[in-house]
Amino acid sequence: MFKTISDPADSEVRSVIRFLKAKKNFDAEIHRQLVGIYGENVMTDGMVRKWVRQFNDGRTNVHDEARSGRPSVVEDGLVANVNEKIRENSRFTIRMLFDEFPQISKTVLHEIVTNRLNYRKLCSRWVPKMLTDVHITK
């Protein structure tokens, strides 16, 4: 009958809920139509009722509201400083980096090294995951 749309954006689904609510559809009917178009995992019936209730209370924005959270300590300058320390001594440990940067936890340092700088441990040396031609010739 209809083509199923996979992995829709949250704001898209909320816009459809707002539209169907404006057409005076019931909550259960809105959920049934969403499941028909977006599939079973789109949104629970309870979440549809929550959004309908919010739209009834006067909410017009379908986007997530900004939330306060803990600010990230990982900045580009910090990543560059960690990278500089690694280049000075490739036989480092996370504990040695922690001694250089005591304000940052070992977990965050490990995440910087592995995720942001893309290093991995190889024979007690940290090397880039993707070797470039320059690395290969060295």
Tell me if 71 is assigned to some domain. no
Biggest distance spanned by C-alpha atoms of the chain = 69
Kind and range of the H or E element at 44?
none
| Whether 85 and 112 share a structural domain | yes
The per-residue pLDDT for range 4-21, each reduced to its tens digit, is 888 888 999 999 999 999
Do both 49 and 81 map to the same domain? Answer: no
CATH code, domain carrying 22: 1.10.10.1450
According to DSSP H, which parts of 7-137 are helical? 10-22, 27-38, 45-56, 76-88, 94-100, 106-111, 133-137
Rounded Cα–Cα distance for residues 56 and 68 (Å)? 26
pTM, two decimal places? 0.50
Q: Are 98 and 104 in contact (CB under 8 A)?
A: yes
Picking from 4, 36, 9, the residue whose alpha carbon sits closest to that of residue 20 is: 36
Number of domains in the chain: 2
What are the φ and ψ backbone dihedral angles of 102, each rounded to 5 degrees? Answer: -70, -15
Domain-located, residue 130: no
pLDDT at 1 over 70: no
Same domain as 112, residue 80: yes
Asked whether residue 27 is domain-assigned, the answer is yes
- Would residue 25 count as lying in a domain? yes
| Model pLDDT for residues 69-127, shown as the tens digit of each residue | 777 778 889 999 999 998 888 788 889 899 999 988 999 999 999 888 888 876 666 66
Residues 81, 52, single domain; the answer is: no
In a domain, 94, yes or no: yes
Q: Which amino acid is at 9?
A: A
Provide the residue range defining the domain that includes 107.
76-116
Question: Does any domain span residue 64?
Answer: no
Classify the C-alpha dihedral 86-90-93-95 as positive or negative: negative
Backbone φ and ψ for 20, nearest 5 degrees, come out as -65, -30
Q: pLDDT tens digits, residue range 42-65?
A: 999 999 999 999 999 999 999 988
Domain annotation covers residue 62: no
Q: Residue for token digits 């996370």?
A: 94
Helix (H) or strand (E) holding 12: helix 10-22
Whether 91 is covered by a domain: the verdict is: yes
